[in-house]
Structure 1
Protein backbone atom coordinates (compact mmCIF):
# COMPACT_ATOMS: atom_id res chain seq x y z
CA UNK A 1 0.00 0.00 0.00
CA UNK A 2 2.88 2.39 0.77
CA UNK A 3 4.53 1.78 -2.61
CA UNK A 4 1.39 2.84 -4.52
CA UNK A 5 1.12 6.03 -2.50
CA UNK A 6 4.80 6.79 -3.13
CA UNK A 7 4.43 6.17 -6.87
CA UNK A 8 1.36 8.42 -7.02
CA UNK A 9 3.25 11.11 -5.10
CA UNK A 10 6.20 10.92 -7.47
CA UNK A 11 3.87 11.02 -10.47
CA UNK A 12 2.07 14.08 -9.14
CA UNK A 13 5.41 15.77 -8.44
CA UNK A 14 6.60 15.11 -11.99
CA UNK A 15 3.37 16.42 -13.51
CA UNK A 16 3.59 19.61 -11.40
CA UNK A 17 7.25 20.12 -12.26
CA UNK A 18 6.72 19.68 -15.99
CA UNK A 19 3.64 21.91 -15.88
CA UNK A 20 5.56 24.68 -14.16
CA UNK A 21 8.44 24.39 -16.64
CA UNK A 22 6.05 24.61 -19.60
CA UNK A 23 4.23 27.58 -18.06
CA UNK A 24 7.55 29.35 -17.43
CA UNK A 25 8.61 28.76 -21.03
CA UNK A 26 5.32 30.07 -22.39
CA UNK A 27 5.47 33.19 -20.22
CA UNK A 28 9.07 33.85 -21.23
CA UNK A 29 8.14 33.47 -24.89
CA UNK A 30 5.23 35.90 -24.46
CA UNK A 31 7.51 38.39 -22.72
CA UNK A 32 10.06 38.15 -25.55
CA UNK A 33 7.31 38.66 -28.13
CA UNK A 34 5.92 41.66 -26.25
CA UNK A 35 9.36 43.21 -25.87
CA UNK A 36 10.07 42.62 -29.56
CA UNK A 37 6.76 44.23 -30.55
CA UNK A 38 7.45 47.26 -28.36
CA UNK A 39 10.91 47.65 -29.89
CA UNK A 40 9.48 47.27 -33.40
CA UNK A 41 6.85 49.93 -32.71
CA UNK A 42 9.56 52.29 -31.45
CA UNK A 43 11.80 51.60 -34.45
CA UNK A 44 9.03 52.05 -37.00
CA UNK A 45 7.78 55.18 -35.27
CA UNK A 46 11.27 56.67 -35.21
CA UNK A 47 11.90 55.81 -38.86
CA UNK A 48 8.57 57.39 -39.85
CA UNK A 49 9.03 60.71 -38.03
CA UNK A 50 11.42 61.29 -35.10
CA UNK A 51 9.74 64.53 -34.01
CA UNK A 52 6.34 62.89 -33.87
CA UNK A 53 7.85 60.00 -31.91
CA UNK A 54 9.29 62.38 -29.30
CA UNK A 55 5.99 64.29 -29.14
CA UNK A 56 4.07 61.03 -28.68
CA UNK A 57 6.46 59.87 -25.96
CA UNK A 58 6.04 63.22 -24.19
CA UNK A 59 2.26 62.98 -24.41
CA UNK A 60 2.34 59.41 -23.12
CA UNK A 61 4.60 60.53 -20.25
CA UNK A 62 2.16 63.30 -19.33
CA UNK A 63 -0.73 60.84 -19.46
CA UNK A 64 1.06 58.38 -17.18
CA UNK A 65 2.20 61.15 -14.81
CA UNK A 66 -1.40 62.37 -14.51
CA UNK A 67 -2.54 58.81 -13.95
CA UNK A 68 0.04 58.20 -11.21
CA UNK A 69 -0.92 61.47 -9.53
CA UNK A 70 -4.63 60.62 -9.63
CA UNK A 71 -4.05 57.02 -8.57
CA UNK A 72 -1.90 57.73 -5.54
CA UNK A 73 -3.66 60.94 -4.52
CA UNK A 74 -6.28 60.54 -1.81
CA UNK A 75 -9.68 60.82 -3.48
CA UNK A 76 -12.39 62.62 -1.58
CA UNK A 77 -15.20 60.20 -2.34
CA UNK A 78 -13.26 57.23 -3.74
CA UNK A 79 -14.67 57.49 -7.26
CA UNK A 80 -12.92 58.47 -10.45
CA UNK A 81 -14.66 59.95 -13.42
CA UNK A 82 -13.80 60.77 -17.00
CA UNK A 83 -10.16 61.41 -17.73
CA UNK A 84 -9.05 60.32 -14.27
CA UNK A 85 -10.57 56.87 -14.76
CA UNK A 86 -9.03 56.55 -18.22
CA UNK A 87 -5.58 57.58 -17.08
CA UNK A 88 -5.74 55.41 -13.96
CA UNK A 89 -6.62 52.43 -16.15
CA UNK A 90 -3.77 53.20 -18.54
CA UNK A 91 -1.39 53.57 -15.60
CA UNK A 92 -2.47 50.18 -14.27
CA UNK A 93 -1.96 48.57 -17.68
CA UNK A 94 1.48 50.17 -18.08
CA UNK A 95 2.50 49.11 -14.57
CA UNK A 96 1.30 45.54 -15.15
CA UNK A 97 3.16 45.38 -18.48
CA UNK A 98 6.34 46.73 -16.89
CA UNK A 99 6.11 44.23 -14.04
CA UNK A 100 5.48 41.37 -16.46
CA UNK A 101 8.49 42.37 -18.55
CA UNK A 102 10.62 42.83 -15.46
CA UNK A 103 9.81 39.35 -14.20
CA UNK A 104 9.93 37.38 -17.44
CA UNK A 105 11.92 39.33 -20.07
CA UNK A 106 15.09 39.61 -18.00
CA UNK A 107 16.09 36.10 -19.12
CA UNK A 108 15.21 36.83 -22.73
CA UNK A 109 18.17 35.77 -24.84
CA UNK A 110 16.48 36.78 -28.07
CA UNK A 111 17.93 40.30 -28.03
Structure 2
Protein backbone atom coordinates (compact mmCIF):
# COMPACT_ATOMS: atom_id res chain seq x y z
CA UNK A 1 0.00 0.00 0.00
CA UNK A 2 2.78 2.45 0.87
CA UNK A 3 4.52 1.85 -2.44
CA UNK A 4 1.38 2.70 -4.44
CA UNK A 5 0.82 5.88 -2.48
CA UNK A 6 4.45 6.93 -3.03
CA UNK A 7 4.21 6.20 -6.76
CA UNK A 8 0.96 8.18 -6.99
CA UNK A 9 2.56 11.09 -5.13
CA UNK A 10 5.57 11.08 -7.47
CA UNK A 11 3.26 10.90 -10.50
CA UNK A 12 1.17 13.83 -9.25
CA UNK A 13 4.34 15.83 -8.60
CA UNK A 14 5.66 15.16 -12.11
CA UNK A 15 2.35 16.11 -13.73
CA UNK A 16 2.21 19.35 -11.75
CA UNK A 17 5.84 20.20 -12.55
CA UNK A 18 5.42 19.55 -16.29
CA UNK A 19 2.19 21.58 -16.29
CA UNK A 20 3.94 24.53 -14.66
CA UNK A 21 6.82 24.33 -17.15
CA UNK A 22 4.43 24.28 -20.10
CA UNK A 23 2.49 27.24 -18.68
CA UNK A 24 5.75 29.17 -18.16
CA UNK A 25 6.85 28.52 -21.75
CA UNK A 26 3.46 29.62 -23.10
CA UNK A 27 3.53 32.83 -21.03
CA UNK A 28 7.09 33.61 -22.17
CA UNK A 29 6.14 33.07 -25.81
CA UNK A 30 3.07 35.26 -25.38
CA UNK A 31 5.18 38.01 -23.81
CA UNK A 32 7.72 37.82 -26.65
CA UNK A 33 4.96 37.95 -29.26
CA UNK A 34 3.32 40.94 -27.55
CA UNK A 35 6.65 42.74 -27.31
CA UNK A 36 7.38 42.04 -30.98
CA UNK A 37 3.93 43.31 -32.02
CA UNK A 38 4.39 46.52 -30.02
CA UNK A 39 7.81 47.09 -31.58
CA UNK A 40 6.40 46.43 -35.07
CA UNK A 41 3.53 48.87 -34.49
CA UNK A 42 5.97 51.55 -33.33
CA UNK A 43 8.26 50.93 -36.31
CA UNK A 44 5.47 51.00 -38.89
CA UNK A 45 3.89 54.05 -37.30
CA UNK A 46 7.19 55.94 -37.30
CA UNK A 47 7.96 54.97 -40.89
CA UNK A 48 4.49 56.13 -41.98
CA UNK A 49 4.55 59.53 -40.25
CA UNK A 50 6.81 60.62 -37.39
CA UNK A 51 4.60 63.64 -36.63
CA UNK A 52 1.46 61.55 -36.33
CA UNK A 53 3.34 59.04 -34.20
CA UNK A 54 4.37 61.73 -31.72
CA UNK A 55 0.86 63.22 -31.75
CA UNK A 56 -0.64 59.78 -31.14
CA UNK A 57 1.81 59.12 -28.31
CA UNK A 58 0.83 62.46 -26.77
CA UNK A 59 -2.88 61.64 -27.00
CA UNK A 60 -2.27 58.19 -25.54
CA UNK A 61 -0.31 59.79 -22.69
CA UNK A 62 -3.19 62.16 -21.95
CA UNK A 63 -5.63 59.24 -22.05
CA UNK A 64 -3.50 57.25 -19.61
CA UNK A 65 -2.92 60.24 -17.33
CA UNK A 66 -6.66 60.87 -17.11
CA UNK A 67 -7.27 57.17 -16.46
CA UNK A 68 -4.65 57.10 -13.69
CA UNK A 69 -6.16 60.21 -12.15
CA UNK A 70 -9.64 58.66 -12.24
CA UNK A 71 -8.34 55.38 -10.81
CA UNK A 72 -6.33 56.76 -7.90
CA UNK A 73 -8.29 59.84 -6.84
CA UNK A 74 -10.76 59.81 -3.99
CA UNK A 75 -14.01 58.26 -5.16
CA UNK A 76 -16.70 60.74 -6.04
CA UNK A 77 -20.33 60.27 -5.14
CA UNK A 78 -22.03 57.95 -7.56
CA UNK A 79 -20.46 55.82 -10.25
CA UNK A 80 -17.99 56.68 -12.95
CA UNK A 81 -19.63 57.44 -16.24
CA UNK A 82 -18.64 57.96 -19.82
CA UNK A 83 -15.10 59.07 -20.50
CA UNK A 84 -13.98 58.58 -16.89
CA UNK A 85 -14.94 54.89 -16.95
CA UNK A 86 -13.29 54.35 -20.35
CA UNK A 87 -10.01 56.01 -19.36
CA UNK A 88 -9.90 54.23 -16.00
CA UNK A 89 -10.50 50.89 -17.71
CA UNK A 90 -7.89 51.65 -20.40
CA UNK A 91 -5.35 52.64 -17.77
CA UNK A 92 -6.01 49.45 -15.82
CA UNK A 93 -5.67 47.30 -18.94
CA UNK A 94 -2.41 48.93 -20.01
CA UNK A 95 -1.01 48.79 -16.46
CA UNK A 96 -1.77 45.06 -16.30
CA UNK A 97 -0.14 44.55 -19.72
CA UNK A 98 2.94 46.46 -18.57
CA UNK A 99 3.14 44.33 -15.43
CA UNK A 100 2.80 41.16 -17.52
CA UNK A 101 5.64 42.31 -19.80
CA UNK A 102 7.74 43.27 -16.80
CA UNK A 103 7.35 39.82 -15.27
CA UNK A 104 7.57 37.66 -18.39
CA UNK A 105 9.08 39.89 -21.10
CA UNK A 106 12.36 40.25 -19.22
CA UNK A 107 12.99 36.53 -19.67
CA UNK A 108 12.54 36.85 -23.43
CA UNK A 109 15.92 36.37 -25.07
CA UNK A 110 14.74 37.74 -28.39
CA UNK A 111 16.19 41.21 -27.80
TM-score range, shorter chain: over 0.9
Q: Which runs of 5 or more structure 1 residues have no equivalent in the other structure?
A: none
Q: CA deviation at 1:76?
A: 2.0
| Residue equivalent to 1:49 | 49
TM-score using structure 1 length: 0.98
1:17 is matched with which residue?
17
Give runs of ≥4 in structure 1 deviating > 6 Å. Answer: none
| Cα offsets for 1:18-74 (capped at 9, x unmatched) | 000000000000000000000000000000000100000000000000010011011
Work out the number of aligned pairs and report it: 111
Q: In structure 2, what is the Cα distance between the partners aligned to 1:55 and 1:76?
A: 31
Q: Does 1:102 align with 2:102?
A: yes
Alpha-carbon RMSD: 0.7
Q: TM-score, normalised by structure 2?
A: 0.98
Determine the C-alpha separation between the residues in 2 that align with 1:30 and 1:78.
38
